[in-house]
Structure 1
Amino acid sequence: MLIGRGMRSFADGFVALLLPIHLSRLGYGAAEVGLLATATLLGSAALTLGLGFFGGHVRLGRGLAGAAMLMAATGLGFAGIDAFWPLLLVAFIGTINPSSGDVSVFLPLEQSLIAHLVTDSERTAVFARYSLVGSLGAALGALSIGTLPWLDRLTSAGSATPMLFVVYGAIGLATLSLYAGLPDTRSGDHTKRASRLGPSRRRVWGLAALFSVDSFGGGFVVNSLLALWLFERFGLSVSTTGTIFFVTGLCSAVSFLVAVRLARRIGLVNTMVFTHLPANILMIMAAFATSPEVAVIFLVLRSLLSQMDVPARTSYVMAIVEPAERPAAASLTAVPRSLASALSPALAGLMLGVSTFGWPLVCAGALKITYDLTLLACFRAIRPPEETARPKEAD
């Protein structure tokens, strides 16, 4: 599963930067990039919502194989279609990911399977490795976009970007062969309506509401639009931007390993909040940078902190619900996040179409800070089993 996660993340890493370049070559602007990013996130939310309601009836291995086939079809669709509205439809149905995190239907399926296979004491560390592999894959994918000028010279005008979407589809087929060997199981006892929430309903919907605020803010700075801001604000090249995203991806990968130790020491919720807050302040500061060097410094520093909450958040959701509720919890915390994050890229695209100032970064940082403070106030007292099982002083 980790190999498949790495391959998918590599594809997501280069496609997030490829998307604004490809649309620009087709004659579309920042507003169209934002709308297409919105469509991809809305489509992911719809698929994940369906999984939330019917997850107890879907075998996890079979579901992952179906998602891999959809990824392959998405790559071929983007490679062969130039008209905007058909592209928008493919984006809605498919698996294109314009953001730095995984927002596709793969996510709740993989999370449920991991939580089903590991113990409470191993869970956070396994999710950290899962996130680490994803971040490294995305970093390498972003770096690989630097080959685009070289591919342009080797191919006829305009054919290099469709070729890379074919590569994206081929990676989907490769992951299909990997997922076909996974345990084809359901999480929990499927005879007890495992797809529905039970005693954890209030917690899950509370987290879903908070995560949606965080994701609405994150939608302003999905990688495709952040790259577009760097292109337009500072005139950076494709290769330079890809290198920047490679460095920030590596920093995020390192932070996942630190997150495990930190969570064991101060707890999952504290780890989520006290690493996220300074990261969001740094993002706002990047918006006011007057040179590319200063902006990149702030973005790199942010990347050292901003993703530490990812394995902690995933582990926390899986920990505070019953095992049979995990597919529904994973999906129903992911769906509002996807829906909320789908609204803001279109707004960010409109902002960038009017001004190259980093208003999307300011909006993202302010919303995310609000999320951090509210999460701490509402959930600090709700502790996962591995924290309640040890003396409180250990925090």
Structure 2
Amino acid sequence: MSLLPQVLRSLPHDGWLLFIARSARMFAYGFLAVVLALYLDRIGISAKGIGLLLTLTLVGDTAISLWLTTVADRFGRKKMLVVGAGLMLLAGGVFAATTNYPLLVLAATVGVISPSGNEVGPFLPIEQASLTQLVGNKERTGVFAWYSLAGSVASAVGAIFGGGLAQGLINAGWSPVASYRLLLVVYAGVGALLWVLFRRLTPAAESPRDESAPAAAPSFLAARLGLHRSFHLVLKMSGLFALDAFGGGFIPQSIMAYWFYLRFGVEPGLLGSIFFVANLLAAVSALAAARVAARIGLIRTMVFTHLPSNILLILVPLMPNLPLAIAVLLLRFSISQMDVPTRQSYTMAVVSPDELSAAAGITGVARTTGAAISPIFTGIFLANAALWNVPFFLAGGLKIIYDLSLYRSLQAVKPPEE
């Protein structure tokens, strides 16, 4: 008997390629989040400079993602994924090759690089669109949960790999800068691997042609964004998701790792272990999300699990010592990601088949845009020891507002399976 869960047994060739690409990419994002801020600090960039660079990184990723995802259904999902892989290779290569701040800003803006350990660039929206048409409505949330699990486990392994390798090289006599730079070379190598994987996708991953006319002619803006029937709903979701990401952007994983370093003097090896466990807990929660959603619905699952996780986020900096801070952080991670596969599945369920890439891309860009604004303020807070805890409070508070607004605005819009 196969050890694979039922929902994955019928996944076609293209689906498995997308799962492998997701895992490889999140592995790279995981180890980069542990060392990126430390690397920038070691090469002489100030806390404010780090915050600005991270903001510009996300701004660039936003623009690239919007461009590639809104044309993917028309010009080819495979082509856009290959372009994204090339931009990831470019960013990692430049970060490894130079410490020149303007060049780093240029590479961060044009290329694809993740300062948070989370998805950036065009990959996730286009992959979600392809997976949605490769599976049925009943299997969609389950496939997205396993897809999220694959990413979380890979990110966890990447975190412990990055922290452990950097610490091991430092203990062996390497300078911190040299050890962190090696990881940037590995990051660029993962970009090259993605390029190879995406080249193997078949036409089954491409967008189907919807020959039926939309209920009304799309506006100029909607047409430019690749939308028609779902334009207003996508805008509403985008606004809500942007608020959530704006809150989360105050304390992305790389900044959280930096905060533990500033507050408690935690070394890279322990940082890697902390976020390894955290991402494993997040992975398990993603699987649980599919079962919960089958009972209470996608929107309720998103809200009822996200609210307590945000309260725990606010409590992390209030802990008096390192063990308690780690414990609360891990408890928070154990439920914080249950909204991810449910949010992704919901977005794909309520739009037309030929709007999938565009809808996923626009809502994803909204999240990236929200997240891009916050780090510049976080850099200011981290430059003053008296304000180190403020990012946690802002993040948790804004995310709670998002949860309440989401429930009020979208609870009446049901996906087909509900």
| TM-score class normalised by the smaller sequence | over 0.9
Equivalent in the alignment of 1:199: 229
Equivalent in the alignment of 2:294: 264
Q: Please say if residues 72 and 80 of structure 2, whose CA atoms lie closer than 8 Å, have aligned partners that are also in contact.
A: no
Q: Percent identity?
A: 41
Q: Distance in 2 between matches of 1:263 and 1:37?
A: 34
Q: Distance in 2 between matches of 1:97 and 1:339?
A: 14
1:182 maps to which of 198, 201, 213: 201
Q: Render the CA deviation track for 1:28-68: whole Å, top value 9, x for unaligned.
A: 23222211211111111101211343233231122212211
**Runs (5+) with no aligned partner, structure 1:** 388-395
Letter in 2 for 1:334: G
Q: Distance in 2 between matches of 1:92 and 1:104?
A: 11
1:8 maps to which of 13, 21, 25: 25
Q: TM-score when scaled to structure 1?
A: 0.94
Q: Distance in 1 between matches of 2:353 and 2:74?
A: 15
Question: Which residues in structure 2 correspond to 1:1-395 (within 5 Å)?
Answer: 1-144=18-161, 145-154=163-172, 156-157=174-175, 158-184=177-203, 185-189=205-209, 196-355=226-385, 357-387=388-418
Q: Per-residue deviation at 1:273?
A: 0.3
Q: Render the CA deviation track for 1:111-136: whole Å, top value 9, x for unaligned.
A: 11111211111110111111100000
Residues 108, 52 of structure 1: CA spacing in aligned structure 2 closer, same or farther, 3 A cutoff? Answer: same
Q: Distance in 2 between matches of 1:373 and 1:186?
A: 36
Q: Please say if residues 30 and 156 of structure 2, whose CA atoms lie closer than 8 Å, have aligned partners that are also in contact.
A: yes
Letter in 1 for 2:332: R
Equivalent in the alignment of 1:393: none
Q: Render the CA deviation track for 1:206-247: whole Å, top value 9, x for unaligned.
A: 000000000000101111111111000111111111111001
Letter in 2 for 1:102: E
- More displaced 10-residue stretch of structure 1: 42-51 or 362-371: 42-51
Q: TM-score when scaled to structure 2?
A: 0.89
Q: Distance in 2 between matches of 1:308 and 1:317?
A: 15
- More displaced 10-residue stretch of structure 1: 224-233 or 100-109: 100-109
- More displaced 10-residue stretch of structure 1: 13-22 or 268-277: 13-22
Q: Distance in 2 between matches of 1:32 and 1:57?
A: 39
Q: CA RMSD in A?
A: 1.6
**Runs (5+) with no aligned partner, structure 2:** 1-17, 214-222
Q: Per-residue deviation at 1:173?
A: 1.1
Q: Per-residue deviation at 1:153?
A: 4.5
Q: Distance in 2 between matches of 1:21 and 1:250?
A: 23
Equivalent in the alignment of 2:11: none
- More displaced 10-residue stretch of structure 1: 206-215 or 52-61: 52-61
Letter in 2 for 1:371: Y
Q: Distance in 1 between matches of 2:225 and 2:379?
A: 37
- State how many pairs are aligned: 387
